[in-house]
Structure 1
Amino acid sequence: MNSWFKNYKGIIMLMIGIIAGSIAGLLLGKKVELIKPVGDIFLNLLFTAVVPLVFFAIASAIAGLDGSKRLGRLLGITSLVFLSTVLVAAIVTIIATWIFPIHQHLVASPITEAIVKKPFGDQLTQLFTTSEFYQLLSRKSMLAAIIFSILIGFATLRSGEKGASFARFLHSGNEVFKNIFILIMELGPIGLGAYFAYQVGVFGPQLFGGYARSMELYYGVGAFYFVVIFSLYAFIAGGVKGIKKYWRNNIIPSATAVGTCSSIATIPANLDAAKKMGIPDVIANVTIPLGGTLHKDGSSISSIVKMVVVFALFGKSFNSADTIALALAMTVLVSLVEGGIPNGGYIGELLFISAYGFPPEALPPAMIIGTLVDPMATLLNATGDTVAAMLVTRFSEGKNWLNKAE
Structure 2
Amino acid sequence: MTRPPFGVQVFIGMAIGLALGFVARSYALPGLAEGLKIVGDIFVQLLKALVVPLVFTAIVASIAALRDLNNAARLVTGTFLWFGLSALIAVSIGLTLGTLLQPGAHAGVSAAAAVRPDTAGSWLDFLRGLVPANILGLEASTRLVDGGAKTGLSFNVLQLIVVAIAIGVAAVRTGEAGAPFLAFNASALAIFRRILRWVVRLTPIGTGALLGSAIVRYGWQSLSALGTFAIAIYIGLGLVLFVVYPLLLLANGMSPRRFFATAWPAIQLGFVSRSSIATLPVTEQVVERLGVSRSYAAFAVPFAATTKMDGCAAIYPAVAALFVAQYYNIPLHGVDYLLIVLVSVLGSAATAGLTGALVMLTLTLSTLGLPLEGAGLLLAIDPILDMGRTAVNVAGQALIPAIVAKRQGLLEETVAAEPVFA
Same fold (TM over 0.5): yes
Question: Is the CA contact 2:156–2:353 (under 8 Å) kept in the aligned structure 1?
Answer: no
Q: Is the contact between residue 127 and residue 144 of structure 1 (CA under 8 Å) also seen in structure 2?
A: yes
In the other structure, the counterpart of 2:98 is 97
Which residue pairs with 1:276 in the alignment? 289
Q: Is the 8 A contact 1:349 1:367 kept in 2?
A: no
Deviates more, 1:251-260 or 1:129-138: 129-138
Return the alpha-carbon distance in structure 2 between the equivalents of residues 80 and 279 of structure 1.
18
Is residue 132–residue 162 contact of structure 2 (8 Å, CA) maintained in 1?
A: no
1:247 aligns with 2:243: no
SS at match of 1:266: helix
SS of the residue corresponding to residue 232 of structure 1 reads helix
Q: Which residue of 2 aligns with 1:359?
A: 371
Equivalent residue, structure 2, for 1:133: 135
Partner of 1:54: 55
Task: Name the CA shift for 1:116/1:187 in 2 (closer, same or farther; >3 Å).
Answer: closer
Match of 1:124 in 2: 126
Is 2:357 the partner of 1:345?
Answer: yes
Q: Are 2:43 and 2:202, in contact at CA under 8 Å, matched by a contact in 1?
A: yes
Alignment of 1:214 with 2:229, yes or no, is yes
294-303 or 266-275, which deviates more: 266-275
Measured in 2, the distance between the counterparts of 1:120 and 1:338 equals: 8
Distance in 2 separating the partners of 1:113 and 1:98: 25
> Which of 301, 318, 325 is matched with 2:315 structurally?
301
Tell me the residue number matched to 1:237: 252
Aligned match of 2:330 in 316, 329, 334? 316
Deviation readout 1:186-214 (Å, 9 max, x if unpaired): 22111221111101222123442321111
**Range 230-239 or range 128-137, more displaced:** 128-137
Offset from partner CA, 1:94-119 (integer Å, 9 cap, x none): 22234433351323453678616697
Q: 1:195 aligns with which of 185, 189, 210?
A: 210
Cα deviation, residue 21, structure 1 = 0.2
**Per-residue deviation, 1:236:** 2.7
Cα deviation, residue 245, structure 1: 2.0
Q: Is the 8 A contact 2:99 2:322 kept in 1?
A: no
AA partner of residue 237 (structure 1): N
Please report how far the alpha carbon of residue 233 of structure 1 lies from its aligned counterpart in structure 2 after TM superposition.
Answer: 2.2
Given that 2:60 and 2:167 are in contact with CA atoms closer than 8 Å, whether structure 1 keeps it comes out as yes
Sort the Cα spacing of 1:243 and 1:53 in 2 relative to 1 into closer, same or farther, 3 A. same
- The amino acid that maps onto 1:20 is I
- Match 2:5 to one of 9, 13, 32: 9
- Cα separation, partners in 2 of 1:184 and 1:166, compared to 1, 3 Å: same
Q: CA RMSD in A?
A: 2.5
CA-to-aligned-CA distance 1:5-62 (integer Å, 9 cap, x gap): 77x7222212211111012112221534221111111111111111111111111111
Aligned residue for 1:173? 188
CA 1:163–1:50: 2 relative to 1, 3 Å: same
Contact 1:261/1:374 (CA < 8 Å) preserved in 2?
yes
Aligned partner of 1:386 in structure 2 is 398
Structure 1 window deviating more from structure 2 (287-296 vs 173-182): it is 173-182
For the 8 Å contact 1:311–1:317, the answer to whether it is kept is yes
Unaligned runs of 5+ in 1: none
Runs of 4+ deviating beyond 6 Å: 111-114
Whether 1:87 and 2:88 are equivalent positions in the alignment is: yes
Over 3 Å counting, the alpha-carbon distance change for 1:153 and 1:404 in structure 2 is farther
1:354, distance to aligned residue in structure 2 (A): 1.5
Structure 1 or 2: larger helix share? 1
Q: How does 1:249-268 map to 2 (within 5 A)?
A: 249-268=262-281
**2 CA distance for matches of 1:103 and 1:330?**
21
Structure 2's unaligned 5+ residue stretches are: 140-152, 417-422
**3-state SS, counterpart of residue 249 of structure 1:** helix
Give the direction of change, closer, same or farther, for the CA distance of 1:162–1:183 in structure 2 (3 Å limit).
Answer: same
Q: Alpha carbons of 1:48 and 1:142: their partners in 2 closer, same or farther (altered >3 Å)?
A: same
What corresponds to 2:144 in structure 1? none
Match of 2:142 in 1: none
Give 1:154's aligned amino acid.
V
What is the aligned partner in structure 1 of residue 14 from structure 2?
A: 18
Deviates more, 1:60-69 or 1:286-295: 60-69
Structure-2 residue corresponding to 1:183: 198
- Counterpart position of 1:66: 67
1:110 is aligned to: 113
Q: What is the SS of the residue equivalent to 2:118?
A: coil
Pick closer, same or farther for the CA change 1:396–1:306 going to 2, 3 Å: same
Q: 1:321-373, CA deviations, whole angstroms, 9 ceiling, x for partnerless residues?
A: 211111101112332233467x5322222212221122343231254564441
**Pair 1:79–1:364, CA change in 2 (3 A):** same
Deviation of 1:130 after TM superposition, in Å, equals: 3.2
Q: Is the 8 A contact 1:306 1:370 kept in 2?
A: no
Residue number in structure 2 paired with 1:223? 238
Deviation track 1:225-265 (CA, whole Å, cap 9, x = no partner) reads: 111112112223333xx223201112211221011100111
SS at match of 1:163: helix
Verify the 8 A CA contact 1:51 1:139 in the aligned structure 2. no
**Retained in 1: the 8 A contact 2:292–2:402?**
yes
Structure 1 residues 134-149: aligned runs within 5 Å: 134-136=136-138, 140-149=155-164
CA distance in 1, matches of 2:413, 2:320: 42
- Matching residue's letter, 1:13: Q
TM-score normalised by length of structure 2: 0.86
Structure 1 contact 237–390 (Cα < 8 Å) conserved: no
